[in-house]
Structure 1
Amino acid sequence: MMNAIMVAIIMYLAKFFDWGYLNLQLRPIILGPMVGLVLGDLTQGILIGASIEAVFMGTFSVGGSVPSDIAAGAVLGTAFGILTGKGVALAVPVGLLTTLLFNLVVLGFNFLVDFEDRSVAKHKDSRFNQAHIFAMVVYPIPFAIMAFIAIYAGVGPIESFMNNLPAQVMQMLNVMSQMLPALGMAILTKSMWDKEVIPFFFIGFTLAAYLGLNTMAIAIIGAAIAVYFIMNDFKHRKEMASLKSQRVVATASANEDMSNEMEDFLS
């Protein structure tokens, strides 16, 4: 009961910040440790959260398009992973299934859009603010209820089902869960792919495949390169701005000299 309540609270906070407050999306790398902390296994929460973050790294919502419910997948995937000991294999299907609930909840809140439009048209700011606050507070509740029911009633059947699976199926699921981070990286790479990043792609591949560097070492090298390019670009922009300013001053000075010469000629 207590585990279900704590997971439901985290789900509520994730949805509240995601849709209602500053549109701040809590990523799996943050939600995983939070779930692990309340379930008494912070280490597994960090590890599973990082693995789920790698899966959903290239997934993001654009407007009303929600390819997968990342917050629900992170919260429930981490919770089930810790409670059943089966890792991240459940995160992706949970995220996809929760997208259906998201569509139903948003459909139910469509009446508020018309109400808020009419409030703005009538210059009734207080009514608009009240409706918005109502949506912020109420919207996460269905997801919190879903999380509570899933954890309270679903862990036992899911754990029994997973334990009764043949060894070959479990091995396949483990292999698939290990491949999911590669899928997340592929989606991310596809969304940002450009000819200018090709050299860095092969540099990272060489560092990992041939020099045996781990992810942290490669990340530090990549961050250092990024800082170098940012500083260099900043210096270049500063020089260009200074040059432009000098040209403006020179042009203004030339125009002033020409004006003075014209006045002297006319006088």
Structure 2
Amino acid sequence: MDAPGANNETLEFLNLSWNHLRMKGAVAVSAGLRVNGTLKILDLSWNGFGNEGALALGEALKVNNVLVQLDISTNHINNEGAEKLCKGLEVNGNLRILKMSNNPLTVEGAILLITSIRKNPKSRMEEINISNVLVNENFLNLLDAVCQGHRELDVIYGGVGGYISKKPEQRSDPMKLIQNYLNERKLRLLDFFRSMDKDGSMKIPVAEFRKAMMQQSSILLDRAQIRELVQKLDGNRTGVVDYSYLKEQKPAQKPKEEEEEEP
């Protein structure tokens, strides 16, 4: 029997979640990934791949240069499995979204994942979801360093150990900060977005938008504020910031009193 996806020449999305796939299934799927040239999105969540399955996937990622999104949430993968998966992440130059939530990872596994991106100058990773993992200050410092070289990267984690009992840090609304900046310089929000729009389509890929915001020196936003901003601008998680609605908005008119006072 051929490995799933090995002979596929057209399929770009495959959902194999909730299929009770174990190690043998993981090996078969991974064998298909090694030779597949079309599949871009693969959902393997809620199976039982375990660490050996993570090893097989890591080996497949070493040679696969097409897959863009991989979901292996809830697959009994612990730190050992994450280390094996990272062997592939260290060389893969195309994967952009990795979902690994609800696996028994700890902060050590999270650090392994981030380190694999740091080791890979070709990495195009945009999002790693480990939303159940409690991280620490060492992880945050490493993430700051990694994001300097991969500004499009966003890591979704569960919280920060040692800070839970403290009052959450109050952050300014990122959209208000941007609007205040534009108002001071008499600039329009439309022009602000256009400065990041490379092809003039009025749709900016989220990764490019995140990278541009990280590079802003005039409006200083941290990762949490940029994530909040992205959630507001791409609430439906389409992967793009669509600002075409601003084109229809008319410039604000001056109050009548001000118009009458002008000579």
Tell me if both proteins adopt one fold, taking TM over 0.5 as the criterion: no
TM-score for both structures, normalised by structure 2: 0.28
Question: Is the strand fraction higher in 1 or 2?
Answer: 2
TM-score for both structures, normalised by structure 1: 0.28
Question: Is the helix fraction higher in 1 or 2?
Answer: 1
